[in-house]
């Protein structure tokens, strides 16, 4: 086991330059609805905090400016990720990946493998369990999430080949402020009119099973991965619903709720009810924390310094940061993400 101890100036709340993806289903809503500066043309995803080899994000300020998240992992080690992520550190992987997604058109119907399947079939890649926090949903918006009725793998394939798979897919209405947990094995698709934040394992492994009979920019149908998908789909997942929040704490000034709990990450929704409401925490070496502000304005305060944040943005607090405080400058909603014990 390698433990890195860095100078205090190199342990501070980290923010990153996003990396943009231009899949065919994207649009301009990161600009028009979130006020983001984005490149011209279609922008489907903004990778906000990423250690994935395909699109690593780089620190945008401070002593570590310019270093990518994989480089930080090598440099800071446990001081960055904490003891709960030792196994991931040994694999040279930052545990999580944070994105914003703009579904201007429906995404493909797809499924992700778990760790065991990905390890065996995808060159040691991680599986992909994820959660979605809905930032904006047009009236009548819905997701594809799970199955409408119980099917066998053979029946699923037959429906797909007969062109009537859509009737077997469960549609879940959603609105802003809701959370949906997508464990590996879930059939799912983000549909048009939805803007969301995604917290997920550090993986980009996706098996596409249906793409609404459309073609890609080259005029050809995008490839499907039906055989692998049928091996990993959870066919017992029939008509699942949104994640039901679990209350942690409620005071006159704030409300904390779990909106996802799983072995890979816990996500809390922290609602500050007024100006100068605050929450103190401590990164004690066990886990990093990611804080994302979904609405409003606020600050992260540590060691007599402060970082200003406004919606929608994220910061990574290294595991060795020590004491910190999240302070609301007006009513605001935050996501708090960390690796559970």
Residues near 25 by Cβ (< 8 Å), separated by ≥ 6? 44, 103, 104, 105, 106, 107, 192
First to last CA, the chain: 19
Residues 153 and 106 grouped into a single domain? yes
Quick one: which of 260, 268, 116, 281 has its CA closest to 184?
Answer: 116
In 3-state terms, the chain is what percent helix, strand and coil (to 5)?
15, 40, 45
pTM of the shown model: 0.96
pLDDT value at residue 217: 82
What's the rounded Cα separation, in Å, for the pair 90 and 93? Answer: 8
Residues 222 and 95 grouped into a single domain? yes
Residues 192 and 314 grouped into a single domain? no
Quick one: which of 125, 121, 140 has its CA closest to 88?
Answer: 125
pLDDT value at residue 8: 52
The answer to whether position 314 is within a domain reads yes
The answer to whether position 136 is within a domain reads yes
- Which structure tokens are listed for 175? 């609105």
Domain's final residue, options 232, 264, 295:
232
Mean pLDDT of 164-187: 97
Residues 257 and 214 grouped into a single domain? no
Residue 208 among the catalytic residues: yes
Residues near 177 by Cβ (< 8 Å), separated by ≥ 6? 134, 333
Q: Which helix (H) or strand (E) holds 232?
A: helix 226-232
Burial class (CB in 10 A: 0-12, 13-18, 19+), 287: buried
Number of structural domains found in the chain: 2
What's the rounded Cα separation, in Å, for the pair 24 and 118? Answer: 26
Residues 99 and 163 grouped into a single domain? yes
pLDDT value at residue 1: 30
Q: What is the pLDDT of residues 78-100, one digit of tens each?
A: 999 999 999 999 999 999 999 99
Residues 167 and 303 grouped into a single domain? no
Counted residue by residue, the chain has a size of 341
- Cα dihedral across residues 152, 155, 161, 165: positive or negative: negative
pLDDT value at residue 28: 98
The answer to whether position 277 is within a domain reads yes
For residue 2, pLDDT beyond 70: no
The answer to whether position 241 is within a domain reads no
Q: CATH no. for residue 331?
A: 2.60.120.10
The answer to whether position 1 is within a domain reads no
Judging by DSSP bridges, how do beta strands 142-147 and 188-190 pair with one another? Answer: antiparallel
The CA radius of gyration of the chain, in Å to the nearest whole number, is 20
CA atoms in the 13 A half-sphere facing the CB of 303: 11
Domain's final residue, options 209, 232, 255:
232
The answer to whether position 173 is within a domain reads yes
Q: What is the pLDDT of residues 95-135, one digit of tens each?
A: 999 999 999 999 999 999 999 999 999 999 999 999 999 99
> What are the distances in angstroms from CA 297 to CA 255, 294, 329?
17, 9, 5
Residue with tokens 């879940």: 172
pLDDT value at residue 74: 96
Residue with tokens 């009810």: 273
Mean pLDDT of 14-19: 98
Q: What is the pLDDT of residues 139-159, one digit of tens each?
A: 999 999 999 999 999 999 999
Quick one: which of 18, 4, 203, 184 has its CA closest to 89?
Answer: 4
More confident residue, 45 or 274: 45
* Residue 282, phi then psi, degrees to nearest 5: -150, 125
Residues 210 and 316 grouped into a single domain? no
The answer to whether position 237 is within a domain reads no
For residue 286, pLDDT beyond 50: yes
For residue 3, pLDDT beyond 50: no
- What count of other Cβ atoms lies within 10 Å of the Cβ of residue 114? 17
* Residue 106, phi then psi, degrees to nearest 5: -65, 140
Catalytic-role residue among 21, 36, 84, 208:
208
Residues 294 and 178 grouped into a single domain? no
Domain that holds residue 253: 246-338
pLDDT value at residue 216: 82
For residue 7, pLDDT beyond 80: no
What's the rounded Cα separation, in Å, for the pair 333 and 254? Answer: 10
Residues 250 and 225 grouped into a single domain? no
pLDDT value at residue 5: 43
Domain's final residue, options 232, 266, 287:
232
The answer to whether position 164 is within a domain reads yes
Residues 164 and 271 grouped into a single domain? no
Would you give the DSSP letter of residue 159?
Answer: H
Q: What is the pLDDT of residues 22-74, one digit of tens each?
A: 999 999 999 999 999 999 999 999 999 999 999 999 999 999 999 999 999 99
Q: Is there a contact between 104 and 195 (Cβ–Cβ < 8 Å)?
A: no
Mean pLDDT of 245-258: 97
Quick one: which of 191, 212, 173 has its CA closest to 104?
Answer: 191
Q: Is there a contact between 308 and 336 (Cβ–Cβ < 8 Å)?
A: no
Residues 217 and 127 grouped into a single domain? yes
Residues 154 and 253 grouped into a single domain? no
Q: What is the pLDDT of residues 195-239, one digit of tens each?
A: 999 999 999 999 999 999 998 888 888 999 999 999 999 999 999
pLDDT value at residue 53: 95
What's the rounded Cα separation, in Å, for the pair 132 and 190? Answer: 10
């Amino acid at each position: 086991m390698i433990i890195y101890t860095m100078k205090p100036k190199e342990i501070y709340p980290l923010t990153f330059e996003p990396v943009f993806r231009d899949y065919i289903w994207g649009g301009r809503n990161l600009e028009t609805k979130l006020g983001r500066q984005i490149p011209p043309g279609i922008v489907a995803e903004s990778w906000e905090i990423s250690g994935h080899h395909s699109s690593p994000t780089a620190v945008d300020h401070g002593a570590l400016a310019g270093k990518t998240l994989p480089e930080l992992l090598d440099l800071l080690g446990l001081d960055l990720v904490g003891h709960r992520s030792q196994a991931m550190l040994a694999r040279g992987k930052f545990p999580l990946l944070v994105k914003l997604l703009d579904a201007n058109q429906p995404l493909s119907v797809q499924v992700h493998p778990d760790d065991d399947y990905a390890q065996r079939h995808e060159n040691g890649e991680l599986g992909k369990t994820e959660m979605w926090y809905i930032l904006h949903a047009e009236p009548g918006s819905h997701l594809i999430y799970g199955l409408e009725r119980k099917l066998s793998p053979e029946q699923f394939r037959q429906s797909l080949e007969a062109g009537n798979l859509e009737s077997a897919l469960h549609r879940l209405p959603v609105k802003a402020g809701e959370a949906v947990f997508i464990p590996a094995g879930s059939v799912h698709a983000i549909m048009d009119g939805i803007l969301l934040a995604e917290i997920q394992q550090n993986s980009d492994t996706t098996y596409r099973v249906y793409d609404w009979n459309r073609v890609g920019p080259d005029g050809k149908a995008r490839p499907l991965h039906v055989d692998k998908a049928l091996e990993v789909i959870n066919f017992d997942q029939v008509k699942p619903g949104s994640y039901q929040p679990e209350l942690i704490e409620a005071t006159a000034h704030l409300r904390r709720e779990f909106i996802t709990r799983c072995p890979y990450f816990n996500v809390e929704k922290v609602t500050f009810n007024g100006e100068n409401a605050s929450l103190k925490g401590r990164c004690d070496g066990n886990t990093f924390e990611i804080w994302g502000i979904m609405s409003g304005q606020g600050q992260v305060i540590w060691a007599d310094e402060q970082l200003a944040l406004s919606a929608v943005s994220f910061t990574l607090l290294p595991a060795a940061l020590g004491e910190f405080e999240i302070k609301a400058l007006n009513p605001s909603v935050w996501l708090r993400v960390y690796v559970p014990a």
